[in-house]
């Protein structure tokens, strides 16, 4: 993969440009993030679908870690059973992930083989079809209430970068007004006036993410994997960030169920790279299970 694959290939460059009044959190927020992670008290969600562009004179900040250590080559892959712990959000494994330098991560051959295997793709097809059939009545109800609640389309479409730097269109249920620019900072509170009345509810229940099952059927995404980023962010990726692109992006992943889910993805590369390094069938199953329980309990949602 060369750098040209990651450039923005659109004739309307401003379509991917966010207002300069929005910026990633200042560097002193890293200390606040680490405090949240240590205490296990971070319960708000940041949906990166409306992440903000980094100004041209600012680089993408890497994760702020302490006591950085090289990532050891584990003899056995992480099967994710520790995520089933009763207090998984306070499990010591989260701290161990944060202490490793993402630059020291090298993807396991076994992880990459599973990422492109027939087993994973079969699970994606069967799982997405099953969820779509079971959730079809919910799709119809949500579509009707969105149309009744506010003028505009039912679905929200966003350009994202997938596996190997390929562009694709990500689908969501629309949760904000139509006059809101697509590429802005995501709402951090249900009181954000950009959200519609129904939008607040479907975001709280994470229902707005369900149309991405269509992306899974098309092969653009997987049920589990790194979250896909927007083109103008990927265009500024450093080599360590590009390691995220070796795997097909997912609807959910290790970062989404971690204590760091309220902070930007680009500050939490350890989670995605740990998943890519260790991805396997059991880890996928555990992440999906934890995601379902989090949605049911409304944990981490805005």
Q: Residue 54: pLDDT above 70? A: no
- Structure token digits, residue 164: 């190997």
**Which pLDDT score, from 0 to 100, does residue 97 have?**
79
The mean pLDDT of 80-109, rounded to a whole number, is 71
Largest CA distance in the chain: 55
For helices 118-149 and 281-297, angle between their N-to-C axes, nearest 10 degrees: 20
Residues 179 and 171: beta-carbon distance below 8 Å: no
**Which pLDDT score, from 0 to 100, does residue 102 have?**
58
* First CA to last CA distance, the chain: 36
**Which pLDDT score, from 0 to 100, does residue 34 have?**
52
Residues 272 and 33: beta-carbon distance below 8 Å: no
What's the whole-number average pLDDT of the chain?
74
Please give the residue that has the higher pLDDT: either 261 or 214. Answer: 214
Q: Residue 216: pLDDT above 90? A: yes
The SS3 call for residue 266 is: helix
Q: Residue 32: pLDDT above 70? A: no
Please give the residue that has the higher pLDDT: either 81 or 214. Answer: 214
d(CA 65, CA 102): 10
Burial call 2-29: b when 16+ CB within 10 Å, e when fewer:
eeeebebeeeeeeebebeeebebeeeeb
- Ranges 46-55, 77-86, 208-217, 275-284: which has the least confidence: 46-55
Compute the 3-state secondary structure of the chain and give helix, strand, coil in percent, each to the nearest 5.
Answer: 45, 10, 45
34-43, 203-212, 218-227 — which one is most confidently predicted on average? Answer: 218-227
**Which pLDDT score, from 0 to 100, does residue 155 have?**
93
Q: Residue 17: pLDDT above 50? A: no
**Which pLDDT score, from 0 to 100, does residue 1 have?**
46
Please give the residue that has the higher pLDDT: either 22 or 207. Answer: 207
The mean pLDDT of 175-183, rounded to a whole number, is 81
The mean pLDDT of 25-38, rounded to a whole number, is 48
Q: Which residues pair with 222 in a beta bridge?
A: 250
The total of other beta-carbon atoms located within 10 Å of residue 143's CB is 16
pLDDT-derived band of residue 100, with 50, 70 and 90 as boundaries? low
- Structure token digits, residue 233: 């962010």
Residues in the chain: 302
**Which pLDDT score, from 0 to 100, does residue 116 have?**
79
- Ranges 136-150, 206-220, 282-296: which has the least confidence: 282-296
**Which pLDDT score, from 0 to 100, does residue 88 have?**
73
Q: Residue 282: pLDDT above 80? A: yes
pLDDT-derived band of residue 87, with 50, 70 and 90 as boundaries? confident
Give this prediction's pTM: 0.71
Residue 253, CA distances (Å) to 30, 62, 210 in order: 22, 19, 15
**Which pLDDT score, from 0 to 100, does residue 186 have?**
67
Comparing CA positions, the residue from 227, 232, 236 lying closest to residue 268 is 227
Alpha-helix runs per DSSP H in 99-117 = 109-115
Q: Residue 293: pLDDT above 50? A: yes
Give residue-wise pLDDT tens across range 225-262: 998 888 888 888 888 888 889 999 999 999 888 887 77
Comparing CA positions, the residue from 202, 221, 197 lying closest to residue 138 is 202
């Amino acid at each position: 993969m060369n750098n040209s694959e990651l450039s923005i290939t659109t004739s309307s460059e401003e379509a991917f440009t966010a207002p300069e009044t929005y910026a990633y959190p200042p560097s002193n927020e890293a200390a606040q993030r680490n405090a949240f992670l240590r205490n296990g008290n971070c319960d708000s969600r940041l949906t990166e679908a409306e992440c903000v562009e980094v100004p041209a004179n600012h680089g993408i900040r890497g994760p702020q870690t302490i006591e950085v250590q090289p990532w050891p080559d584990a003899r056995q892959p992480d099967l994710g059973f520790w995520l089933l712990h009763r207090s998984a959000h306070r499990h010591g494994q989260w701290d161990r992930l944060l202490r490793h330098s993402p630059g020291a991560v090298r993807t396991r051959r076994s992880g990459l083989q599973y990422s492109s295997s027939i087993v994973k793709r079969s699970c994606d097809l069967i799982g997405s079809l099953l969820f779509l059939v079971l959730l079809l009545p919910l799709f119809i109800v949500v579509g009707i209430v969105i149309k009744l609640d506010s003028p505009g389309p039912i679905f929200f479409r966003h350009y994202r970068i997938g596996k190997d730097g390929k562009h694709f269109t990500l689908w969501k249920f629309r949760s904000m007004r139509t006059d809101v620019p697509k590429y802005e900072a995501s709402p951090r509170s249900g009181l954000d006036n950009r959200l519609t009345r129904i939008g607040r509810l479907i975001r709280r229940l994470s229902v707005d993410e369900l149309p991405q099952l269509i992306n899974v059927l098309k092969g653009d995404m997987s049920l589990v994997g790194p979250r896909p980023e927007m083109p103008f962010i990927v265009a500024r990726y450093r080599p360590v960030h590009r390691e995220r692109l070796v795997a097909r992006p997912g609807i959910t992943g290790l970062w989404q169920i971690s204590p760091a889910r309220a902070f930007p993805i680009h500050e939490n590369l350890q989670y995605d790279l740990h998943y890519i390094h260790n991805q396997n069938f059991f880890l996928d199953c555990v992440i999906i299970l934890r995601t379902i329980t989090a949605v049911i309990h409304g944990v981490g949602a805005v």
